[in-house]
Chain A
Amino acid sequence: GDSVTQTEGLVTLTEGLPVMLNCTYQTIYSNPFLFWYVQHLNESPRLLLKSFTDNKRTEHQGFHATLHKSSSSFHLQKSSAQLSDSALYYCALSESQGGRALIFGTGTTVSVSP
Chain B
Amino acid sequence: AQTIHQWPVAEIKAVGSPLSLGCTIKGKSSPNLYWYWQATGGTLQQLFYSITVGQVESVVQLNLSASRPKDDQFILSTEKLLLSHSGFYLCAWSLEGPDYTFGSGTRLLVI
Q: Are B97 and A105 in contact (CB under 8 A)?
A: no
- The interface residues of chain B lying within 8 Å CB-to-CB of A106 are 42-43
Q: Are A101 and B102 in contact (CB under 8 A)?
A: no
Q: Are B98 and A45 in contact (CB under 8 A)?
A: no
- The interface residues of chain B lying within 8 Å CB-to-CB of A96 are 98
Q: Are A46 and B102 in contact (CB under 8 A)?
A: yes
Q: Which of B34, B96, B102 counts the most A-chain CB atoms under 10 A from its CB?
A: B102
1/0 per residue, CB under 8 A from B, across A66-109: the answer is: 00000000000000000000000010101011111111111100
For the complex, would chain A's binding face be called helix, strand, loop or mixed by DSSP majority? loop
Nearest-neighbour CB distance to chain A for B33, whole angstroms, equals 11
- The interface residues of chain B lying within 8 Å CB-to-CB of A92 are 44
Is B77 an interface residue when CB atoms closer than 8 A count as contact?
no
Q: Are A90 and B46 in contact (CB under 8 A)?
A: no
- The interface residues of chain A lying within 8 Å CB-to-CB of B74 are none
Q: Which of B46, B51, B57 counts the most A-chain CB atoms under 10 A from its CB?
A: B46
Smallest Cβ-Cβ distance to A45: which chain B residue? B102
- The interface residues of chain B lying within 8 Å CB-to-CB of A107 are 43
Q: Are A47 and B101 in contact (CB under 8 A)?
A: yes
Q: Are A97 and B44 in contact (CB under 8 A)?
A: no
Q: Are A47 and B90 in contact (CB under 8 A)?
A: no
Q: What 4 additional pairs, Cβ within 8 angstroms, besides A96-B98, A101-B59, A102-B100? A: A35-B98, A98-B97, A100-B32, A100-B49
Which of A's residues lie within 8 Å of B, judged by CB?
Answer: 33, 35, 43-47, 50, 90, 92, 94, 96-107
